[in-house]
Structure 1
Amino acid sequence: MMNRVGSRIAWSLLLLGGCICLLSCAKSRGPNVVIILADDLGWKDLGCYGSEFYETPHLDRLAREGMRFTDAYASACVCSPTRASLLTGKSPARLHLTDWLPGRPDSARQKLHSPKMETCLASKENTLAEALQKAGYATASVGKWHLGKLSQSWPEQHGFDFQIAGSGKGNPSSYFSPYQLPNLSDGPAGEYLTDRLTDEALRFVRQNREKPFLLYLPFYAVHTPLQAKAALEKKYKEKAATFSKGKQEDFRNDLGREVRQVQNHPTYAAMVENMDENVGRLLEELKTLGLEQNTLVIFTSDNGGLSTAEGTPTSNVPLRAGKGWPYEGGVRVPLIVRWPEVTKEGSVCHDPVISTDLFSTILAAVGLGTDGSEDLDGANLLPALRGGKIPERPLFWHYPHYSNQGGAPHGAVRLGQWKLIEWSEDMRVELYDLKTDLGEKKNLAFDKPELVNSLRNRLHEWRQEVNAQMPTDNPLKAKLGNPLRDGGFARKGFNLWDPSIIQVGDTYHLFASCWTSENFSAWKSSFIVRGTSKNLLGPYAFAGEVFRPRPGDYFDAEGCHNPKITFHNGKYYLYYLGIPAWKSGVAVSDSVEGPWVRQKDWCIPANNPALWVHPDGSVYGVGKVKVENPKYPGSKKFDELLHYIHAFRAKSIFGPYTMLHRGKDNALPNNFENEDPCLWHDGTRYHMLLTDLHGFATGFHKSFAYYTSRDGISYELVSREPLFTNQIPIRFEDGSETKFLRIERPNIFLDRDGSVTAVLAAGSPENQKEGARILVFPVDRFGQRF
């Protein structure tokens, strides 16, 4: 690529030629260009795209008078990258500007580090405004810029003669004056931002009506904060009552998040209609001034609608997910183009296009073209605007970040009807046929391996071509602090095992299996006890027995073992292993202190269960299943069986539970013998900490290994570095050490913001008569990703 000076000279010569051509006669004056960019407006948020709730008569009219694109895309699932691509014709990956600015700080819990990207639109980039400015156009940016915090990177430095309200801010403090926006004076009390920006745009158009102009009008609407004019909001509150189907139908849990399914948010709707009204004002002014016939008007959005976070104001259904995600709801956007005498009224284009295309299209429309010295990624859409076809080509996306809306680093490619998504954390792929599955519900990756490989190779080759920055591994830096010498939970004369902890108010309640220290075999005598402490690390005082085995024909007649405590919908649930059935049951109580009501029979066909109850009451869990050992065919003896972890699900806490795996070849997480799983979910992924029985994962016998999974089916080892091994003595906070024969049964404590702040384990000392105890390790840097 040419250097900055050479590129500027080439552009200047090209544009000078363009200027001479344009000025040769008045009739050859290039068209005015108006780009209206909505913020966070979803694909289905306009009447002409299928919305039945939002009223957008002016944009619907624009579509009737021009061309509507059904398969238009933003070049990123968040705002700043799309804006940069529109203005430069380059993909965000090539620009190294791939997230909103200044970007989301890396979290210690992430599996990957985001790359260090550009902090602004680089001064070396040639923008659309610079090209048209040199060709004699008056240029204005009115509204959101969001391409750099420092004024050196604001619109004035990128070819705009006039700019208002543009800075590094991505959203206003308020839609009502005072706005607290740089480059925008406050108006009278009650003035609405979208109205004010349109006033400024109209002023620019009137002042420059005698010469060609570029008006870039990036509204802040409909980005949060959600604030609307009272009359419109009242109108939609009344209308919303007829659109709501009740919370259970208005929202659906998808991708670990609550996703709006119905468009019925009155404030958001009022913001959409107000924006539409202001588009109508601008279109009417162009007509009044006699500029309508010679003005190219483009309307689009910077990313998909916000449907998975920040109040989930809109629904993108039938598209999946929304802003921050690679699914169609996150990147497919409305695109309407009106250019009288070029675009046919009411025409529709079904060819896939992307925001990067607008740069080359506009230059071609005004007669400038490009000189080939720039690495442009977009296509010229003029053939499509004239009713022709765009040759089939792949469209690419690259997002090496974690989004505020729940998305993770990914890449994607669409070619024809096929779309492939590759998740960077584990290189897992998804393949969808958008022709038959617009909602991306059926992943065909396993059915079409050759197509997956072809699309994946294209994606990887494109990344190399544009020098895309990739996320890097966030190594497991797990470090457990030293437990208190007198902390944890111990009971003289007894063994304590299988810890599970819950916080109620300012008190921590630790549940454990218990049996006499004279008998290390728990299977015939264990029962469940509870300890309490005001300090997470202990010491825990014995608070009483929870329950013992029930004599008679019960699944827990001989032993109650391995308790797991959870809270859901106002009640406490205690899962536990029942012996002799070697299956798991559940007890329920209104209080963490009991009394507990046990089910008569077991409900989970696995032992040592670890479960996660989702907000809707559905349950995902894992547990140990005994499998016949080929070395001992037909044997049912405990020590002669193999022990594998299998997953299960249920629609409710009491089941019925369905096993998702059976047999050795489908065991979690890697077909090796493992046991003692603990499980939790962070809204996006499942996390599992377990005992690596034979060191297959970490290289250390009976070490603790850590895995994650998005779907609960395929688990990935985070690091071969074990969190903990049985090869070292335990060092306590006071500096003393104790050698334990074994440390098993890992569990974790999640604080109220979802962070892992302690790891619990059962330790058996060398002198077994002292009794096994529960150790509570404080977390210093547990994984940095938990």
Structure 2
Amino acid sequence: MLARFAFSFALFLPAGAVADDGEQKRPPNVVVIMADDLGYGDVSCYGATALETPHIDALADRGQRFTSGYCSASTCTPTRFSLLTGMYAFRQKGTGIAPPNAASLIQPETVTVADLLKQANYETAVVGKWHLGLGERGAGPDWNGDLKPGPLEIGFDHAFLLPTTNDRVPQVYVQDRRVLNLDPADPLWVGAKKPSPEHPTGITHRDELKMDWSHGHNGTIHNGISRIGFYTGGHAARFRDEDLADRWVAESVAFMETHQQESPDDPFFLFFSSHDLHVPRMPHERFQGATSLGFRGDSIVQLDWCVGELTAALERLSLTEETLVVFCSDNGPVLDDGYKDGAVEQIGDHQAAGPYRGGKYSVFEGGVRTPFITCWPGTIAPGVSEAVVCTIDLPASLAALAGVEIPAGACPDSVNVAPALRGEPGATGREELVVQNNGSAFALRQGRWKLHRHDGKRTQNLVVETKLAATPVPRLALFDLETDPRETNNLIEERPEIANQMAERLEAYLSGGRTQR
């Protein structure tokens, strides 16, 4: 892989990144914290008043808070795919929400952000939710053997994972390539069909549930919660939902501490892939009841605690001014996403998507415009930015900060927005952006204009606002975000020339004929 890359620190490091003796400083450590299902209005620095997020707010106070920060999709798997590969997920088949036994969606030959950073001597780690599949195409995960290809085959030195997502089976940790603490005498089996007539599920054993399901999540029961899919065995390897955040923080802090002990002269990259506040929302007992919003709100407070623990570790290791922290979310908010956890009943006046319409599963702004913060004390001046930036831009932007040249054809849709991430005066971010839902709806933003395109029958039952609702939508719709940020006034008949031009450009992207690099 080394032959595919070249790098020159002097070209890309921020102005002033030169030591007194004239030597070029090393590039920064990078910690990317990705929340799960966190909406634009879910944290206090973006306007939430029903709860407080002091540690996330502290990042914003010390860095750049973006008002046009996006994820590339309104569901988790495609956003995470694009963050790592710098490629729109719609360019590869099978990148919708991954089922439990999905094979690896990112093949070893694909250049990732971790690959790029390793060429600048970064040590790389991913901790938390994966949900990008494991194992060979056509085979999928070997739960009782080596789970590869996986993160270690696409540029990560270390991995400590929830292999799928926690409303899907199995509830086990994967450390590097193996299920942690798996007893060979109790092998793990994962499948899409009920393994036996007597297998307990959320339908047949509903009285055993400590959190009831509302739709869909009624397969295998673990820890009093039924999930999507079925599994047996692996009992010694199973975790308790309430302990996820604590364990991931502990693993992340241990990675940073060990790195500083063993390789203090080299930078590191940590992708902290949180599961908060995805369903099933089951925060640790010490956070339960912390807000008036039920377990969804309590999970936001738990997420904020995670941010505080990670930034405190950086401070303790004297790494605060040597580390770029990026805080983002994989998509917008949803209330009832399959469990009866009080999110709908206890929402009150809280506006999870802030001033925007829509949420998870939609291409309205509420589904894809989320909190996005960059913090690098001593390098990034505090401020608020209107620049358009997206999680898909991290590969090109971090490569630029590290002085790495991206090989031809790699990361085709990732734009170098490093000047905007650093808060440089006049930095404008990207000029246009394509976003998607799980693959049946798309939108193109160009400045003030945004064009929606809805394909297939499913989009006629689009999930809008933050509740499940059947809402008919036209195939094409045009909105002016400057005058209509809630996207309520379709201007396609009033401005057909703009709509037609944008529809042609969007089609060029979707047909594979246009990239952004």
Q: Using structure 2 for the length normalisation, give the TM-score.
A: 0.72
Q: What amino acid is the match of 2:46? A: Y
Q: Which structure would you say has the larger RCO, counting Cα contacts within 8 Å and 6 or more residues apart?
A: 2
Distance 1:340 1:330, change over 3 A: same
Q: What amino acid is the match of 2:109? A: K
Partner residue of 1:361 out of 390, 397, 400: 397
Q: What amino acid is the match of 2:64? A: M
SS across alignment from 2:34: strand
Aligned match of 1:158: 154
State the distance in 2 between where 1:118 and 1:432 align. Answer: 38
Query: What pairs with 1:666-745 in structure 2 (closer than 5 Å)?
Result: none
State the distance in 2 between where 1:309 and 1:464 align. Answer: 32
State the distance in 2 between where 1:188 and 1:127 align. Answer: 29
Q: Is the 8 A contact 1:343 1:387 kept in 2?
A: no
Query: What pairs with 1:233-248 in structure 2 (closer than 5 Å)?
Result: 233-236=288-291, 240=292
Distance 1:391 1:53, change over 3 A: closer
State the distance in 2 between where 1:341 and 1:279 align. Answer: 19
Q: Is the 8 A contact 2:73 2:437 kept in 1?
A: yes
Q: Is the 8 A contact 2:389 2:429 kept in 1?
A: no
Distance 1:129 1:360, change over 3 A: same
Distance 1:30 1:374, change over 3 A: same
Query: What pairs with 1:26-175 in structure 2 (closer than 5 Å)?
Result: 28-96=25-93, 98-102=95-99, 120-150=105-135, 151-167=147-163, 169-171=164-166
How far off is 1:191 after superposition? 6.1
Partner residue of 2:435 out of 394, 397, 400: 397
SS across alignment from 1:337: strand
State the distance in 1 between where 2:513 and 2:2 align. Answer: 24
Q: Which has the larger radius of gyration?
A: 1
Q: What amino acid is the match of 1:440? A: E
Partner residue of 1:223 out of 272, 278, 281: 278
How far off is 1:316 after superposition? 1.8
1:207 aligns with 2:258: yes
How far off is 1:47 after superposition? 0.6
SS across alignment from 2:450: strand
State the distance in 1 between where 2:289 and 2:302 align. Answer: 13
SS across alignment from 2:31: strand
Partner residue of 2:172 out of 171, 180, 192: 180
State the distance in 2 between where 1:452 and 1:118 align. Answer: 38
SS across alignment from 2:287: helix
State the distance in 1 between where 2:503 and 2:37 align. Answer: 29
Aligned match of 1:292: 320
Aligned match of 2:226: none
Q: What amino acid is the match of 1:129? A: A
Q: Is the 8 A contact 2:357 2:366 kept in 1?
A: yes
How far off is 1:233 after superposition? 2.3
The number of residues matched between the two structures is 408
Residues 91-143 of structure 1, C-alpha deviation per residue, up to 9 Å, x if partnerless?
A: 11234454111399xxxxxxxxxxxx986112221111112223211111111
Aligned match of 2:492: 445
Residues 366-404 of structure 1, C-alpha deviation per residue, up to 9 Å, x if partnerless?
A: 222424442521211122122332266221124574xxx
Aligned match of 2:419: 383
Q: What amino acid is the match of 1:357? A: D
SS across alignment from 1:439: coil
Note the aligned Cα RMSD (angstroms): 3.1
Q: Is the 8 A contact 1:308 1:321 kept in 2?
A: no
Distance 1:126 1:375, change over 3 A: closer
Which one is further off, 336-345 or 34-43? 336-345
Distance 1:275 1:460, change over 3 A: same
Distance 1:70 1:467, change over 3 A: closer
Partner residue of 1:431 out of 478, 493, 515: 478
Aligned match of 1:259: none
How far off is 1:465 after superposition? 3.4
Q: What amino acid is the match of 2:49? A: E
Aligned match of 1:625: none
State the distance in 1 between where 2:416 and 2:514 align. Answer: 23
State the distance in 2 between where 1:399 and 1:322 align. Answer: 10
How far off is 1:462 after superposition? 2.0
Q: Is the 8 A contact 1:173 1:180 kept in 2?
A: no
State the distance in 2 between where 1:230 and 1:283 align. Answer: 23
Q: Is the 8 A contact 2:388 2:429 kept in 1?
A: no
How far off is 1:165 after superposition? 1.8
State the distance in 2 between where 1:381 and 1:429 align. Answer: 29
How far off is 1:190 after superposition? 8.7
SS across alignment from 1:35: strand
1:421 aligns with 2:421: no
Q: Is the 8 A contact 2:453 2:476 kept in 1?
A: yes
State the distance in 2 between where 1:33 and 1:96 align. Answer: 30
Distance 1:467 1:120, change over 3 A: farther
Residues 402-423 of structure 1, C-alpha deviation per residue, up to 9 Å, x if partnerless?
A: xxxxxxx222111111111111
Distance 1:275 1:455, change over 3 A: same
Partner residue of 1:330 out of 363, 367, 386: 367
Aligned match of 1:594: none
Residues 32-71 of structure 1, C-alpha deviation per residue, up to 9 Å, x if partnerless?
A: 1111111111111111111111321000010000001111
SS across alignment from 2:482: coil
State the distance in 2 between where 1:375 and 1:359 align. Answer: 7
Higher helix share: 2
How far off is 1:275 after superposition? 1.2
Partner residue of 1:192 out of 228, 243, 246: 243
Query: What pairs with 1:306-345 in structure 2 (closer than 5 Å)?
Result: 306-307=334-335, 309-311=337-339, 315-345=352-382
SS across alignment from 1:208: helix
Q: What amino acid is the match of 1:90? A: M
1:11 aligns with 2:4: yes
State the distance in 1 between where 2:336 and 2:358 align. Answer: 7
Q: Is the 8 A contact 1:154 1:166 kept in 2?
A: no
Residues 211-253 of structure 1, C-alpha deviation per residue, up to 9 Å, x if partnerless?
A: 31111110111111011233432232xxx3xxxxxxxxxxxxx
